[in-house]
Amino acid sequence: MDNRIYDGFDKYRIGLRNIKTALAVLLCLLTQFLFPQISALNAGIAAVVVMRETPEESIETGINRFIGTIIGGLFGYVLLILSGIMPLYNQFLYVLLIPALMMLAISTCVWLKKYDSVVICCVVYLIIALEIGDNRGSALSYVAMRMLDTIIGIGFATVINKYFFPYYGKQKK
């Protein structure tokens, strides 16, 4: 049989990183099923962002994402507090305050030289900032839950990449 026919399909195969990412998202969904207060969306986003080719890359990325999660969560908490006490916040001020605090969150990551933390910092911050709704009364618990969602996704991606399907380098053909 002519192997050249099948060589072209190699680029369409499902890779290991693809499988590991899907498994991490599956675990995020199952976690939400068992614990409805967990957001599979937030955890899944974190798992997708953290999954890398090697366990070492996932661990390094996970640490950076954890730092970004903490920073984004803290600025989200500040925003929740300010939104409850600031006059005209719901009428228009939020349009100015949300980006202003995001700039401070990004600057904090840069000041700490945690450049790889910026993206997840902004994601966590925006999740908190744009889903305020009725969460002003329990700002600390709301922020803690959004941070926990992200940490769960980071944890699943890191553990799956390190212990289940470890990377041993490119296979020779």
- Predicted local confidence at residue 173, as pLDDT: 47
Place of tokens 């499902």: 14
Residue 3 domain-assigned (yes or no)? no
Residue 8 domain-assigned (yes or no)? no
Instruction: Residue 140: give the domain boundaries.
Output: 14-163
Q: How many angstroms separate the CA atoms of 142 and 138, rounded?
A: 6
pTM of the predicted model as reported, rounded to 2 decimal places: 0.76
Residue 9 domain-assigned (yes or no)? no
Residue 172 domain-assigned (yes or no)? no
109 exposure class (CB count in 10 Å sphere: 0-12, 13-18, 19+): buried
Residue 2 domain-assigned (yes or no)? no
- The number of folded domains in the chain is 1
**pLDDT per position as a tens digit, 69-111:** 899 999 998 988 888 888 777 778 888 899 999 999 999 999 9
Residue 92 domain-assigned (yes or no)? yes
Instruction: Name the residue among 69, 103, 98 with its Cα closest to residue 82.
Output: 98
Residue 169 domain-assigned (yes or no)? no
**pLDDT per position as a tens digit, 121-158:** 998 899 888 876 655 557 788 778 888 998 899 899 98
- Predicted local confidence at residue 8, as pLDDT: 59
**pLDDT per position as a tens digit, 16-58:** 888 999 999 999 999 999 999 999 998 998 899 888 888 788 7
Residue 80 tokens read as 């929740």
Residue 46 domain-assigned (yes or no)? yes
